[in-house]
Amino acid sequence: MEIALVLGLLIVAIILFATEKFSVDLITVGLLIILTSLGILTPAEAFKGFGSDFIIMLASIFVVSGAMQKAGILEIIGDKFIKIPKKRLKWLPTYIMSTVGFTSAFMNNTTVTAMYVAPVVSMCRKLRISPSKILMPVAFASILGGTCTVIGTSTNIAVNAYLGKNGYATFGMFDFTLIGFVMMVIGIVFMATIGVRLLPGKKEVNMVKELEQKHYFTEVLVKPNSVMVNQKVRDTLLSTSGFKILNIIRDKQNMMANGYSSIEENDILLLEGNIEDLLRMKQSLGLDIYSEALAPGDMITDDIKIVEIFVTPTNDFLGQTIREAQFKRRFGLLVMAINREGQTLSDKIGDTEIKIGDRLLIQGPAVNIEYRRKRGDFTVLQEYNFAAPKTKEMHC
């Protein structure tokens, strides 16, 4: 009976892992609780794994990885690669693979890959190289580098722990470094000569341009007789009619708007929505169109920036929807669009679940963005810079 229960739970776990409806750690802890509640595992057996050398070593590696990421070491490495002369750019995959392989020999290879993705993508954009030409070599290098030492991969650590637990001689730190190093060199040479020619040169999607094509941005003036005066943003007819009130300009101060922001007379509202609906509603709401259609660059000031961030496994909002993550309340930032697997999502993204590898287009105060970047909360891929916005003119 116990075997049937364990097999049944195993099948359920595999299905849940495949559907990705719940996080891996939540499923694993849930199974542990069920097995303990059913008496299949004793409490001592259930907690025994948390004290194993394997778990402690993995946890330590993740701590070191996080420290390296927050210290900005990878950004320094990326800056060095950007300064490579153009005539030597053909060797860029070799340089990067060697760096990643060396790092992966002393850290968990999955973590190393996740750490290098954002700096590599940012570097490729600055050098105008397709990221697909570099990211796959990065993945291969992290795997090959992990074969050089015992702590290079979680698999090596697990096997070594099993050997020690069962009375066998364990591996030393560098016992198989030689064969691992040879494999890594062969892999790097192959990618630098043949493999790089087989990689696709996919063109990157510019989220700002796609957003500009799909959506209409404009500014409206709230007249003294407007019905919106003293209303909260979330209670206005604009919000309930599908418009997004992005910013409020009051006394020449540009502020991010949220659902609880109060609207006052003579405020200038930055809107995203349908122009036909706006023209139909502006008179009844007591609004004047303050400017013609705006480009995303018109939303940028010295205080307000638009950046693109990369979602990594360490982000605490992973698996949540944009609405659940509460970007405006927690970070004071607005998610304008999401790019996933080359497709830009910008309609009703509040209910879109955030996944690893997503690129989020964020608008918000420059101080907030810089603070979160330095804390390691966000991995910024790119900051968008545009020409100075045009002078606004009143249109009634």
DSSP assignment of 297-348? GGG--SSEEEEEEE--TT-TTTTSBHHHHTHHHHHS-EEEEEEETTEEE-SS
Cα 131 → chain centroid = 16
For the chain, the distance separating the N- and C-terminal CA atoms, rounded to the nearest angstrom, is 77
Where are the domains positioned within the chain? 1-51, 72-198, 214-295, 304-383
Cα–Cα distance list, 13 to 43, 258, 347 (Å): 21, 39, 33
CA distance 150 to 132: 30
Predicted TM-score (pTM) of this structure: 0.57
Rg (CA), the chain: 26
Per-residue confidence (pLDDT) for residue 388, from 0 to 100: 41
CA distance 28 to 11: 13
Torsion, Cα of 347, 350, 353, 356 (10° steps): 80
Does the fold of domain 304-383 match that of domain 214-295? Answer: yes
- Report the CATH fold assignment for 214-295: Alpha-Beta Plaits (3.30.70)
Tally of CA atoms within 13 A in the half-sphere of 313 that contains its CB: 14
- Hey, is 250 helix, strand or coil? strand
CA distance 79 to 106: 22
The CATH number of domain 304-383, selected from 3.40.1190.20, 3.30.70.1450, 3.40.190.10, 3.20.20.70: 3.30.70.1450
pLDDT tens per residue across span 295-344: 555 566 667 788 888 887 777 788 788 878 888 778 878 887 888 876 77
Per-residue confidence (pLDDT) for residue 394, from 0 to 100: 43
CA distance 148 to 18: 31
pLDDT tens per residue across span 204-233: 666 666 666 566 677 888 888 888 988 888
Cα–Cα distance list, 268 to 114, 249, 259, 292, 365 (Å): 42, 5, 16, 13, 17
Highest mean pLDDT of the ranges 38-52, 166-180, 366-380: 166-180
pLDDT tens per residue across span 110-165: 777 877 877 787 778 777 788 878 888 988 999 999 889 888 887 887 788 788 87
> In 10 A of CB 177, how many CB atoms?
16
> In 10 A of CB 308, how many CB atoms?
23
Tokens coding 36: 């303990």
Q: Which helix (DSSP H) or strand (DSSP E) does residue 356 occupy?
A: none
